[in-house]
Amino acid sequence: MPKVVASPASIDAAKAAFEEIEGEFPSKRDLYLKQILPEAYAVVKNAARRMCGRSIPLGGSEIKWNMVHFDVQLVGGIALHNGMIAEMQTGEGKTLVGTLPVFLNALTGLGVHVVTVNDYLAQRDSEWMGALYSYLGLSVGCIQNQQPPQLRAAQYQCDITYGTNSEFGFDYLRDNGMSSSKEEQVQNGHYFAIIDEVDSILIDEARTPLIISGPSTVSNTEQYGLYKGNIQSLVKQQNALCNELAEEVKKALAEGDEDAAGRALFKIKLGQPRSKQLARYMQDPDARRLIEKTELAMYQDAQKKDLYAVKEELYYTIDEKGHDADLMDKGRSFLDPNDSDSFVLPDLAEAYADIDANSELSVEQKAEEKEALQTRLDSQGQKMHSISQLLKAYCIYEKDVEYVIEENKVCIVDEQTGRKMAGRRWSDGLHQAIEAKEGVTVERETQTYATITIQNYFRLYEKLAGMTGTAETEAAEFHDIYRLDVLPIPTNRPNTRIDDNDQVFKTRREKYNAVVKRIAEAQERGQPVLVGTASVDASETLSRLLQRAKIQHKVLNAKFHEQEADIIANAGQKGAVTVSTNMAGRGTDIKLADGVEELGGLFVIGCERYPSRRVDRQLRGRCARQGDSGLSQFYISFEDDLMRNFAAADRMTTMMERFGMEEGEALEHKWLNRSIETAQKRVEQRDYQWRKRVLDFDDVMNMQREVVYGYRNEVLSSEDPRELLNEVIEDMVPATVHEYMDQRDAGAPDYAELLGWINTTFPLALSMEESGIQDRSADDNAAWLIDEIKKAYELRVTDQPAEYLDHLERQIILTAIDRLWQEHLYNMDALREGVHLRAQGQKDPLVEYKNEAYALFETLMDSIKGDALSNLFRSTTSLDQFEQLLQSMPQDLDGPEQAQVSNANMAQVITSQDVALKPVKSSKPVKIEFPKRKPIQIKSTKKSTK
Ligand code: ADP
Ligand code: MG
């Protein structure tokens, strides 16, 4: 094998060598790559050195190239080539690190994908690093949102392609799930993906699957409007109840009846966790202790009788952490005083058995009864579902926290990043429920055309690697899900950042006041401050306070990546104050202005600990890059969500009690930091379980998707689609013939029905005598029929324009696959919902889901072939012929249901190309039980406040 040196001829020779051994990929390839890695990396570094001082275009202006790889960057590059996550701090130059493995692996000609968190960074990096790649003779492409297909395909043809995870994912879905010819497919395989800010993509983004959807054919949006009023009164009722309970608490406390007070408080916590009264009591250590005591007693009791009893006194209970609300009996009777049973789904299997056991019913009557039962259950299930979603919408999802209203639409706000996620919708009707609650237009439910999780998309790659400043805390997940190991790489220069202890306040108000004061002091000195907030809402609150204090500042909330990159780049100027949600400006470097170093560098203030340590580390990492000085500190309060829901409540109570905090006073101790981190770990674990659960469910789909997409691609790429049609015929005809002849009711062949099927499916128009089916065995009949069908088909296609024939034949199968697959996705959605509704019955929903999904899938594969078979003689190539065909169709096809299906089928033939398909990302809240929290143990320490 040739060596690689820094000359165009040598690089060309290496590329040629890979072409030669292509037959022996991947084993020889990997060996060769390993062998040339040192030289190849040297080539890249050498090229970088030679480029120094050159002007290169970047974002419309010119910059001078000034980077030569540091040694630690080479180490990072080696980790990436070996399929690891290189953990390198912010400002260590990860963009440049990527060039090493990208160059090496691009030599194979298999295409390397570099994945970024947003379009702006894809564009920036492809241009910036592109200068180096073109110097080395490699081509670079960049995928952007809204790029037309031809342009996209050209980007994928390049040696290296930059783009965001969702663009890559959606391209995959369009290629495999929707394209109607091979030429429409744009991607070039999945060899190697290097993911920048890998935690953001593989962990944060992984919570929401990619979904391409269109308007649904079935819709029950009116349900939400219908039940909205009921839910409003229900909520009012519960609030009144909680007010009464608050009175009870007051009275019981006055009488010294602690048990009664604790019980009432606990009830409020279950029924109205965000109530103001409760918040007030939570500030009082005695009251806190009472609730904790009651709670502990209730949960410790193995039978939980007491707990259930307490719950039953409420209309519904709320699980704030789990984002769930449960309707109680009392609530059910309130909603439907005459029939609270209409909220309980009976066991279908049992009900069926009852019908079967009824000897007074004929076979037909039994079937009718079952169908009627099924219909009733469906509508009942839908009603229950709408109501439970409405309840969540009213009790858990708060305006300006979980979502905002913009232009009369409900727009989701990402809880981790505070970003508004335009275009994303909550699924399962939750979004519609919130729309109904807010009185904006309730949009039609959508139907899924294609879907994949981020996890399963990136598992498609033969090789995967990533880089970020913060991966270590999630190392287990990276390993379990993606087989990615984390390698922390030392910094190029020693890190001199100082992380001060957290400041803990009693209330949010006191916290913000302290933050504002601290910012004012820093600005006075001229030290730049970067303030991180957990949500858009919080950043706006802080901004108002700063305005009031006449402190000049800029606010970013990760909406306008490009402008924000600009602002954040200037966050290191003297006296600059920048308020930002955590995603804002990720990937942009903050350089210190002259004289700032002497003032202590950039000061990072966190206004709240995020639910995960990783995000905190990310924020701290914004300062003290490349050996600069820098300081970071977090300000928190007992009212923060994290503290309310996850912190060791008993421990906090003790502290508040012992230190008797005064107004405006803060607690500060390294033990406190530790216990907050424990709370964060708990959230991290919960979130991991959650993502794992989503993935467990998607894995079932993933196998099915692989089979269906595999078949679909075979249809698209087959040289001879007729051959595939023949397979369908040879597969389906014997099976169907046997079905009619072998095991009909009395064990006798049902010739009339067989003939009926033959005549409606194929244009043979035979009489019983002509067919002769009564004189043949099943196998002979099948052989005879296959022959007839093929003959009839030959005849029929002779008058089809030859140039369309291939296309037509592909289309016959594709239409069947697409229609039924979409229907299948819909059924799978319903199934997933269904198994969770059933979750009460001690059964593991995942197991149920797997079993039933398997059965559904078997049916699907048969139906696809059956559908293709009946499409054989119904498809046409031109619109004219199509319309003629429609008119000649028998008007009553087996009742209304059948007709509807056939119409949809027909519509697909013409509309599949021009339906506007808008990719939508939606988060799918999956209902899960989390392991109960364990109390944390911290040794008590001495007070240290200021
Ligand atoms: P990261 O992604 O790790 O946060 P970036 O790739 O954005 O870091 O780079 C941070 C800054 O460091 C950029 O301004 C870049 O020009 C500079 N840089 C990176 N590597 C080098 C190098 N080897 N020599 C000089 N400057 C470098
Ligand atoms: Mg970066």
* Run of H or E including 385: helix 363-395
Query: How many angstroms separate the CA atoms of 686 and 929, rounded?
Result: 10
Probe target for ligand 1 pocket from 589, 617, 622, with the most ligand atoms within 8 Å of CB: 589
Q: Do residues 72 and 490 touch, judged by C-beta distance below 8 A?
A: yes
% of the chain exceeding 70 in pLDDT: 86
**Would you state the pLDDT for residue 41?**
96
Query: How many angstroms separate the CA atoms of 65 and 445, rounded?
Result: 51
Query: How many angstroms separate the CA atoms of 852 and 857, rounded?
Result: 8
Judging by DSSP bridges, how do beta strands 529-533 and 485-488 pair with one another?
A: unpaired
Ligand 1: centre distance to CA 145 (Å): 26
Q: In a 3-state reduction of DSSP, which class is residue 388? A: helix
- Please give the residue that has the higher pLDDT: either 159 or 810: 159
Ligand 2: centre distance to CA 587 (Å): 4
What letter does residue 625 receive in the DSSP assignment? G
SS3 content of the chain, % helix, strand, coil (to 5): 60, 10, 30
C-alpha closest to that of 47 among 1, 100, 94: 100
Query: How many angstroms separate the CA atoms of 454 and 702, rounded?
Result: 12
Closest residue by CA, ligand 1 atom 22:
67
The number of the ligand nearest the C-alpha atom of 91 reads 1
The model's pTM is: 0.76
pLDDT bracket for residue 36 (50, 70, 90): very high
**Would you state the pLDDT for residue 276?**
85
Judging by DSSP bridges, how do beta strands 55-58 and 61-64 pair with one another?
A: antiparallel
Ligand 1: centre distance to CA 625 (Å): 10
Evaluate if residue 627 carries a pLDDT over 70: yes
**Would you state the pLDDT for residue 749?**
74
Query: How many angstroms separate the CA atoms of 259 and 278, rounded?
Result: 17
CB atoms within 10 A of CB 206: 23
Query: How many angstroms separate the CA atoms of 935 and 556, rounded?
Result: 38
CB atoms within 10 A of CB 317: 22
Is the Cβ atom of 117 under 6 angstroms away from ligand 1? no
Residue 767 burial by Cβ neighbours in a 10 Å radius (0-12, 13-18, 19+): exposed
**Would you state the pLDDT for residue 77?**
98
The number of the ligand nearest the C-alpha atom of 592 reads 1
Question: Which own/partner contact pairs does 758-762 have at CB distance under 8 Å and 24+ positions apart?
Answer: 758/785, 760/890, 760/893, 761/869, 761/870, 761/873, 762/788, 762/789, 762/792, 762/872, 762/873
Residue 538 token pair:
């919080």
Across 376-392, average pLDDT: 83
Across 917-943, average pLDDT: 30
What letter does residue 840 receive in the DSSP assignment? G
Is the Cβ atom of 440 under 6 angstroms away from ligand 1? no
**Would you state the pLDDT for residue 70?**
97
Ligand 1: centre distance to CA 637 (Å): 36
Ligand 1: centre distance to CA 109 (Å): 28
The lowest-confidence range among 192-206, 308-322, 464-478, 636-650 is 636-650
Query: How many angstroms separate the CA atoms of 414 and 205, rounded?
Result: 10
Q: Do residues 505 and 635 touch, judged by C-beta distance below 8 A?
A: yes
Closest residue by CA, ligand 1 atom 27:
67
Ligand 1: centre distance to CA 798 (Å): 66
Residue 128 token pair:
């910036």
Tens digits of residue pLDDT in 850-899:
988 998 899 898 889 888 888 777 655 444 454 444 444 333 222 222 22
Query: Highest mean pLDDT: which of 203-207, 266-270, 410-414?
Result: 266-270
**Would you state the pLDDT for residue 558?**
67
Is the Cβ atom of 69 under 6 angstroms away from ligand 1? yes
Evaluate if residue 147 carries a pLDDT over 60: yes
Is the Cβ atom of 128 under 6 angstroms away from ligand 1? no
Closest residue by CA, ligand 1 atom 14:
589
- Please give the residue that has the higher pLDDT: either 237 or 848: 237
**DSSP letter for each residue of 546-561:** HHHTT---EEE-SS-H
**Would you state the pLDDT for residue 255?**
92
Ligand 1: centre distance to CA 95 (Å): 7
- Ligand 1 atom nearest to 95, measured from its CA: 6
The lowest-confidence range among 90-99, 467-476, 786-795 is 786-795
Is the Cβ atom of 95 under 6 angstroms away from ligand 1? yes
**DSSP letter for each residue of 144-197:** -TT--HHHHHHHHHSSEEEEEHHHHHHHHHIIIII-SSGGG-------EEEEET
Is the Cβ atom of 416 under 6 angstroms away from ligand 1? no
Is the Cβ atom of 70 under 6 angstroms away from ligand 1? yes
Angular region, 266: left φ>0, alpha ψ -120 to 50, beta rest: alpha
Query: How many angstroms separate the CA atoms of 672 and 675, rounded?
Result: 5
CA distances from 261 to 250, 276, 281, 641, 717 (A): 8, 17, 11, 24, 72
The lowest-confidence range among 107-116, 220-229, 248-257, 798-807 is 798-807
Across 547-552, average pLDDT: 95
Closest residue by CA, ligand 1 atom 18:
93
- Ligand 1 atom nearest to 69, measured from its CA: 23
CB atoms within 10 A of CB 724: 18
Q: Do residues 479 and 464 touch, judged by C-beta distance below 8 A?
A: no
* Average pLDDT of every residue of the chain: 83
C-alpha closest to that of 196 among 137, 129, 134, 138: 129
The lowest-confidence range among 593-602, 699-708, 801-810 is 801-810
Evaluate if residue 918 carries a pLDDT over 60: no
Residue 568 token pair:
């954040």
Is the Cβ atom of 88 under 6 angstroms away from ligand 1? yes
Is the Cβ atom of 91 under 6 angstroms away from ligand 1? yes
**Token pair 């004929």 in the structure block, residue:** 362
Query: How many angstroms separate the CA atoms of 43 and 12, rounded?
Result: 13
Ligand 1: centre distance to CA 6 (Å): 23
**Would you state the pLDDT for residue 167?**
94
pLDDT bracket for residue 327 (50, 70, 90): confident
Tens digits of residue pLDDT in 921-931:
333 322 222 22
Based on its alpha-carbon atoms, the radius of gyration of the chain, rounded to whole angstroms, reads 32
Is the Cβ atom of 534 under 6 angstroms away from ligand 1? no
Q: Do residues 502 and 118 touch, judged by C-beta distance below 8 A?
A: no
The number of the ligand nearest the C-alpha atom of 88 reads 1
- Please give the residue that has the higher pLDDT: either 569 or 217: 569
The lowest-confidence range among 267-271, 332-336, 752-756 is 752-756
Probe target for ligand 1 pocket from 95, 200, 592, with the most ligand atoms within 8 Å of CB: 95
How far is CA 454 from its chain centroid? 7
Ligand 2: centre distance to CA 205 (Å): 17
Residue 156 token pair:
């994928």
Query: How many angstroms separate the CA atoms of 875 and 812, rounded?
Result: 7
**Would you state the pLDDT for residue 902?**
22
Across 373-396, average pLDDT: 84
Evaluate if residue 652 carries a pLDDT over 80: no
C-alpha closest to that of 33 among 17, 9, 49, 12: 17
Q: Do residues 470 and 87 touch, judged by C-beta distance below 8 A?
A: yes
Tens digits of residue pLDDT in 183-242:
899 999 999 999 999 999 999 888 778 888 776 665 677 888 889 999 999 999 999 999
The angle, 0 to 180 degrees and rounded to 10, between the axes of the packed helices 222-255 and 430-438 is: 80
Q: In a 3-state reduction of DSSP, which class is residue 917? A: coil
Ligand 2: centre distance to CA 116 (Å): 9
Evaluate if residue 163 carries a pLDDT over 80: yes
Ligand 2: centre distance to CA 588 (Å): 7
pLDDT bracket for residue 416 (50, 70, 90): low
**Would you state the pLDDT for residue 547?**
95
**Would you state the pLDDT for residue 348?**
65
**Would you state the pLDDT for residue 924?**
32
- Ligand 1 atom nearest to 48, measured from its CA: 23
CA distances from 541 to 280, 509, 657 (A): 21, 10, 29
Q: Is the peptide bond before 215 cis (omega within 30 degrees of 0)?
A: no
The lowest-confidence range among 117-121, 451-455, 474-478, 931-935 is 931-935
Across 55-70, average pLDDT: 94
CB atoms within 10 A of CB 485: 14
pLDDT bracket for residue 916 (50, 70, 90): very low
**Would you state the pLDDT for residue 288?**
84
Evaluate if residue 449 carries a pLDDT over 80: yes
**Would you state the pLDDT for residue 217?**
60
Evaluate if residue 912 carries a pLDDT over 60: no
% of the chain exceeding 90 in pLDDT: 40
Is the Cβ atom of 499 under 6 angstroms away from ligand 1? no
